[in-house]
Structures are given as C-alpha cells and as structure tokens.
A and B are shown apart, each in its own frame.
Chain A
Amino acid sequence: MSGHDHHDPGFIRKYVFSVDHKVIGIQYTVTSLLFLFLGFALMMIMRAQLAYPKADFSFLENIFGEAGFVGGTMLPEFYNQLGAMHGTIMVFLGVVPLAVGGFGNYVMPLQIGAPDMAFPKLNMASYWVYFTGGVVMICSFFVEGGAAQYGWTSYPPLANTQPHLIGQTMWLVGMVFLITSSLLGSVNFIVTIVQLRVKGLTFFRLPFFVWAQFITSFLLLLAFPPLEAAGVLQLMDRVAGTSFFMPDGLIISGSPAVNAGGGNPLLWQHLFWFLAHPEVYVLILPAMGIVGEIVANNTRKPLWGYRSLVYSVIFLGFMSFIVWAHHMFMTGMGQSMSIFFQTTTMIISIPSVIILTALILSLWGGSIRFNTPMLFALSFLPMFAIGGLTGLPLGLAASDIQLHDTYYVIGHFHFVVAPGTLMALFAGVYFWYPKVTGRMMNSALGKLHWIGTLVFLNGVFIPMFVQGMAGVSRRLYDQTHYEHGQAVQEWTIASSWSAWLLGIAQIPFILNFFMSFFAGKKVDQNPWKATTLEWAAPSPPPHGNFATEPEVYRGPYEYSVPGASDDYSPQFVK
C-alpha cells in the first residue's frame, strides 16, 4: 500500500464522495441537523395555525404562495402536509440519521479501534441513498397538490383515496430510498462490530454506546423490510390500482370506490407498526448510549451495572418486535390481541426502567463535572422518565380508550424523542465536537443553549398532556371549533410561544457550532480525560484513524481505580 501513501484523492473524493467513515459521519450529521431544522420550521408554522386559527398569515402566504393559503388563511390541506412531513422528516431524515448515521458512523469505528467501517464504499452509498430519499421528500412539496398529507403513518384507505396526487406516491418512493439506506448502514455496522474489534476488545469490554448501536442496527435490519413491503403494496394500490388496503363497500366522497375491494386497512397498520415500534427504540437506544458514555466520563466512576445495561438493551431490542399492536388498541382487532400486546408492552418497560435506574445510580457518590455535555445528558434522564411514565396509560388498553389519538399521545412520544433523544444528541455533539474538529465548543454559549432548550421544550410539550386529557384530537386543524378545545386553547397558545422561543434558543447553538470551528480552544487527543478508544486517536483523527493499532487491556469505564495514578485508566494504556 506504500505506493498510495501520499496520493491525494482530490477534493471531490475526499469531502463529497468520500469512503472515510469520519467524513461520512460528518456528512450525515450536517445533513440531518439541516433536516431537523427544516422539520422544526414546519412545526413552527403549524403552531401559528394552532394558536391563532384562521388568522391572517399574509407574511407566510408571501413565502409559500397560493398553494397553501387563501387570503392569508392557511388551508387545512396545507396544514396536513406540514403535519405529515414534520413527522416524516423528524423521524426518518433527522433523528435516526443523526443518531445512527452521524454519531454511529463517526464514533463507533473509533471506539472499537477499527481503521474504518467494514465496507467503506457501501457506507458512502448508504449516505447518498439517504440524501436522494431526502431530496425526493422535499421535492414532493413542489408538485401539484403538495406533499403527503395523510400523517406520517400514511394510514389507508385515506392515503389511497387520491391516487392522482403524487405527493403521497413520492413519499412512498422516498421511503424506499431511506429504507435501502438504513439497510446498507445496518449491515455495515453489524459486520464492523463483529469483525473489526481490536485485540483485547471483547464484547463485554465494548463501550455501552457501541452496544446500543449494535442492537439498533439489528432493529433497522429486521424491522424496516416489512415497511418496505407495505410501501410496495401501497404503491401498487396507488399506481397499479390494486386494492390491498381498500375494503369492500368503500364510499369515497359519496360514490362507491371503483376497485376490486376485499383489502384490509389493518394490514397496513400491522406492517407499519411492525417497523415503527422498533423504530422508537432506534430513536432512543443510541441516545441512551451517548448518555452512558457522558455520565461515566463526568461522574469519574464506572457505569453502575454495565452488564445489566447490556442485557437490558438486548432484551429491549428483542421485545420491541412484539409490542407493535399497542398502537392499534382502538382498531377493533379484538380483546385477546389487546391483552397480549398490553402484556408485552408492560414487560418491555422493565428493561427501560433498568437502564434508566442504572444511569441514575451511576450518579450516586460521584464528583460530577457539570460541563455542557453533562448538563444535556443529565436532563435526558428526567425527560426520558416523563416520556416513559406517560406511556404507561397508553400501553394499557383500557386507559388508552380515553387518550388514544389525542394530544396526550403527542406529548408522550415527543417527551421521549425531543426532550429525551434530542437532549442526548446535543450532549453528543458537545462531547465529541473536540474529537471531530480538534477544538472545544464554547461553554457559556453551550449552557445558554442548554437552559433555553430545556425550559422551552417542556413549555412546548407539557401543555399537550392537558390538551390531551381534555380530549383534543391530535389531527385537528382548528381545535377552537369544538367547545372542549376552546377550554384549553390558552395551553395551545403557551405551547406555540414556547415553540417559537425554542427556535430562538437554538441560535446560541448554531453560532457556537460554526464559530468554535474557527475560534474554539484547541485540544489534545483526550480533552475529557476519557477511557474509551476514540480518545486514543489524534483530534481530529487522520484517514485510517490510529497512528499505531491500539490494543485493549481493560473494560470501558475504569474511572477512579483505587491505587491508580490518575482518576481514569484508559482501555488502551497497559
């Protein structure tokens, strides 16, 4: 290989069509942060309609044109497009690519001491397929009739009723790209973790973050294909006129649907949730992994119950495949089904509680360093707890009857994903930024970002529990149309203002992210005095990662070992 040592691959090969996992990780991170911002922007527009229904939004009309507004008033169709695309973008284009594609790609090979992923070209393909899927999704806003408007779940028969609108068809095509991307990525992750660990790095010496990525990859690998099958079936329904999801005797806008009938709308829901429930754990497991790393590092103590954490993650991954129908209690699928799925749902809460408990107990007796990543990681714990505990009434069929499809559900899963996962992802950005760029992020701006984000995220989502208990349906375009909605309209307004202020609270982060790249304090290879392998590489790591191949001598979190000279004993130091 020496002939290639000083070969300069050129700008395009090095930064655009790169096969280096670190460049791809950065590409994923930047792209998904942009998508997160886009999804958030869509939501801020929705919040305007929700807080001030049918008010004059002429300033928005000037931006979006006639397609979404009439005389300054937002059209319900446009509102529905915003809602469907907010969910799709946040889940499939924002959080998962950031947590898995971004952090996983960048950090995981470093943490196992590998020079790169097992299949570098496949890794590049995975990113560009994801990128294409994202482009297809965004383009769907500009076609006639606009983007998909049937919710991120795309339930048929509704999603099939307007086959002439190609927004939904583009949504399905975009999903096929995203599924392909995550398939390529997950195969790559699993092979890399199984095959390319350095000498001495046994499975039970793996950092918790790697374990989380490992299980996440299995979920992506095995749960996504059924959604692909469902997507193909719905595509056939829309394009080829089949009726897989169109029941007999369907009346659309007053006239009988012209198709063969005999289809089953519940089939879509089963296939969809077979993906979408494991997807919830795809969203949360990498976040738990990040929090685990940061908590251990900043308490200067080993993680409490490392093995229980690992076993819990494995069990959680397995159980996540058999809880999907708790999303369907209200479909009339039958009581025995509901009982089975509420039982499995109660069982799956056990490993989640074990993980959270272990993370909290890790804090006990530690001399905690309250730096920016730690503040974000610490706030993950109560936020995820609220998200998890508010899920219990939804997981029990009886109480779900009251709460199903209300804002309570929105509040519940956003508490898991937004104040939960997003807090952990921000923590990860602050934690690994010095590794990626060789410079620290500014601490004052970081703390400003943290307090604003924490306060306003709660301001956005706590009102939703109140709305939901009052019975406000999650898909309403104007809740003041109903009396029970009028009663809680102030909460909606509070939630909307929190959302807009949350947007302002991100300004310090954006400034910090770009300014620190040029002006941040330069750091050595291990600024946090951490123990895992990524800190054995220079900051930023060169192509090939390690100057000499590291070897691992101990477990991942050997902090404050009695008798050791430092309060941390890295895995890579004999």
Chain B
Amino acid sequence: MSAPVIRYIDEPHPITGLTNGKLGLWLFLASEVMLFGALFSSYILLRVGADSWPDGWDVLNVPLATLNTVVLISSSVTMVMAWVGCRLNNLGKFRFYMSLTIALSLVFLVIKTIEYKPKFEHYEAFLADGALVKGYEGSESITGHLDENDLDKDYILFSPDAVQHGTSGDDEHSDHEKGGEGHAEQIRINRLDIDRLTNFGPKHSNFYGLYFTMTGLHGLHIVGGIAVNLYFLLFGTGMFRSNPAQFSNRIECAGLYWHFVDLVWIFLFPTIYLL
C-alpha cells in the first residue's frame, strides 16, 4: 500500500494550465459571486419596492468608508508584494508584506467597528398617532439618544437631536456638528405614545438591515482572510523552505481570495454608501 500521489498540486495541468488549488479556488469564487449576487439582488428588490429609502451618503459615514476603501486596496497591493516575495524566494520580504497585509486588514475592521458603534447608541422613536411631545408636534418620529437603562421602563428620557422638521431621517453628522453642547433638553416620553423604539441597528429598517448584513458578511470574509494569511505567516516557513513552488501557489490562491474580498467591497461601497 503506497500513499496515493495526487497530480497537479504544484505543477499546472498541461491542458487547463491550472493547478488543482487554483482551479478549486476559482470555482469557490464563482460560488461566492452567487452568494453576494443574491444579496445584491435582494438589495435591488427591496429598494425598488420600498416606500422611502434613505440616501446612503446622507446617513452613513462616507469619509470613514472612503478611508476603508483606501486601506483595503492598499492591502491588496501588499498581498501581491508578499507573493512577489515568495516568487523571489525572499522570506524577509514575504514576511514584511504579509504582516503589512494583515495589519491593514485589522485596520479595516477597527474602522468598521468605529463606524458601526454609534449606530447602536442612536435611537429613533416612532410616535403613536396623536401623541404630543412638547415642541415636536407634528413629527412622526424623533431621533436622539437615551439612557439604555431606561429600555425596560414605562417611560424613556430622550435627548433628541437638533430638530429637523419634515425629515424623519437620521444624520450622524448632525451629532458631530453640534459637538458636545448641542443636545436639546431631555424630554420624557410615555411608552404608550411610542409605536416602535429602535436604535439604528439592523432592525431599524431594511436599509440598515442590508447595510449591516452585507457589510457584516463582507467583514466575516475579511476575518477569514486574516485567519488564512496569519496561518501562512506563522506556520508557512517550513513549506517556504521545503517546497517553495507549492507555497507560492498557496499564497497566490490566498491572494486571489483577498482580491475577491476587495472587489466585493468595491461594489458594496458605492451601492450602499453612495447611491
């Protein structure tokens, strides 16, 4: 009994011109295209069917997202450089650029967290018909902050954002513009006067639901990429020395995946933030 020898692991198949790993990875990416394709299709279907849809650039943090785009594209470049390091048989170069790639991906996730966090602390109260809140007559909803300890009481103390008559949309930036002093006086709202109280998390509306689901799923792909890259960085040295051809193949595959994750973001950014 001899161990089976599987062909075309490190040298490409003469007809397809691909190694097993690379063909497998392309197929995997095809399946990923279908996964994100289904989500983008859902986005289109839900958006065209919606009564109102906020403008991404109005309610989301475009500067941070732009910064993230730059970070992610840079990480794709460093990923290629890490592969170049492999091909040049230069372990130091590989390690430097791979570390840089991982560092940039972590930066992406940190920025994402900074972007997510305020949305969970910012609330919108949709008021029941006929409810009168002093100074806010006629508005269907008010947005602002509240003490989260109040969530189970029969009233809430609400610190509304600056009143914007005629719009019920949220605006993160209005917070920043006002700085520290800007909050209007706290008001007390009876629970019975509130139809629905929600933070700007996924349950706020389908826009935020899709925003969190799609960027969240993309974030999970980033985490997966970090895990793979970290594995190659920490445990790849043995193979780098013993079988450099196969190792650079693996880095190339990891790179293909990384570029795909990057590409998904290139589609996500305009779709969600700019349209």
Contacts and interface: CB of A to CB of B under 8 A. Distances in A.
Contacts of B2: 1-2, 4-5, 544
A188 B24 contact: yes
A455 interface: no
Contact of A543 (B3, B8, B49, B202): B3
B209 A116 contact: no
Given A4-B3, A115-B5, A262-B206, A225 B32 contact: yes
A186 B34 CA distance: 14
Interface stretch (A49-57, A241-249, A387-395): A241-249
A243 B42 contact: no
A392 to B, nearest CB: 30
A543 B6 contact: no
A194 B15 CA distance: 10
Contacts of B4: 115-116, 543-545
A222 B37 CA distance: 11
Given A187-B24, A260-B203, A195 B13 contact: yes
A258 interface: yes
24 contacts: A1-B2, A2-B2, A115-B4, A183-B31, A187-B27, A187-B31, A190-B23, A191-B23, A195-B16, A195-B23, A221-B27, A221-B31, A222-B31, A236-B202, A240-B201, A240-B203, A242-B213, A243-B203, A243-B205, A259-B196, A260-B204, A263-B46, A264-B46, A274-B38
B89 to A, nearest CB: 25
Interface in B178-218: 196, 198, 201-206, 209-210, 212-213, 217
A46 interface: no
A130 B91 CA distance: 38
Contact of B35 (A114, A187, A225, A240): A225
Contacts, number: 149
B25 to A, nearest CB: 8
Name the interface size band of chain B: 35 or more
B35 A228 contact: yes
Contacts of A262: 46, 49-51, 205-206
A132 to B, nearest CB: 18
A428 to B, nearest CB: 24
A233 interface: yes
Q: Could you tell me the dominant secondary structure of chain A's interface residues?
A: helix
Name the interface size band of chain A: 35 or more
Nearest to B16: A194
Interface of B: 1-8, 13, 16, 18, 20, 23-24, 27-28, 30-32, 34-39, 42, 45-46, 49-51, 196, 198, 201-206, 209-210, 212-213, 217
Contacts of A258: 196
Nearest to A122: B24
A457 interface: no
B3 A232 contact: no
A267 interface: yes
Interface in A503-551: 542-545
B242 to A, nearest CB: 14
A120 B46 CA distance: 41
Given A240-B202, A258-B196, A260-B198, A229 B8 contact: no
Contacts of B35: 225-226, 228-229
Given A1-B5, A229-B42, A543-B3, 13 more contacts: A118-B8, A223-B34, A229-B39, A232-B217, A233-B39, A240-B203, A241-B202, A260-B206, A262-B205, A264-B49, A267-B42, A543-B1, A545-B4
Nearest to A224: B31
A232 B213 contact: yes
A106 B14 CA distance: 26
A471 to B, nearest CB: 33
Nearest to A183: B31
A271 B42 contact: yes
A244 to B, nearest CB: 6
A558 to B, nearest CB: 24
A186 B213 CA distance: 26
Given A115-B5, A240-B201, A187 B49 contact: no
Contacts of A288: none
Contacts of B28: 183, 187
A282 interface: no
A315 interface: no
Interface in A209-265: 221-226, 228-230, 232-233, 236, 240-244, 248, 258-260, 262-264
A6 B1 CA distance: 7
B31 A225 contact: yes
Interface string A265-306: 001001100100000000000000000000000000000000
Nearest to A247: B49
The 10 closest A-B pairs by CB, nearest first: A115-B4, A241-B203, A242-B209, A229-B38, A226-B38, A225-B35, A225-B34, A544-B4, A240-B202, A118-B20
Nearest to A19: B4
A222 B42 CA distance: 17
A233 B34 contact: no
Contacts of A263: 46, 206
A119 interface: yes
B148 to A, nearest CB: 16
A119 B5 CA distance: 12
A226 B36 CA distance: 8
A196 B42 contact: no
Given A183-B28, A229-B39, A262-B51, A242 B3 contact: no
A225 B35 CA distance: 5
Contacts of B202: 236, 240-242
B20 A191 contact: yes
B7 A196 contact: yes
Interface in A176-197: 183, 186-188, 190-191, 194-196
Contacts of A2: 2
A195 B6 CA distance: 10
Nearest to B27: A187
A544 B20 contact: no
Contacts of A1: 2-3, 5
A30 to B, nearest CB: 23
B139 to A, nearest CB: 18
A5 B212 CA distance: 53
Contacts of B42: 229, 233, 244, 267, 271
Interface string A362-396: 00000000000000000000000000000000000
A517 B35 CA distance: 43
Nearest to A256: B195
A271 B27 contact: no
A195 B8 contact: yes
A544 B3 contact: yes
Interface in A1-44: 1-2, 4-6
A462 to B, nearest CB: 38
Nearest to A239: B202
Nearest to A3: B3
Contact of A233 (B20, B37, B49, B213): B213
B1 A542 contact: yes
Given A187-B27, A222-B30, A267-B42, A195 B3 contact: no
Contacts of A264: 45-46, 49
Given A190-B27, A260-B198, A262-B49, A226 B34 contact: yes
A267 B45 contact: yes
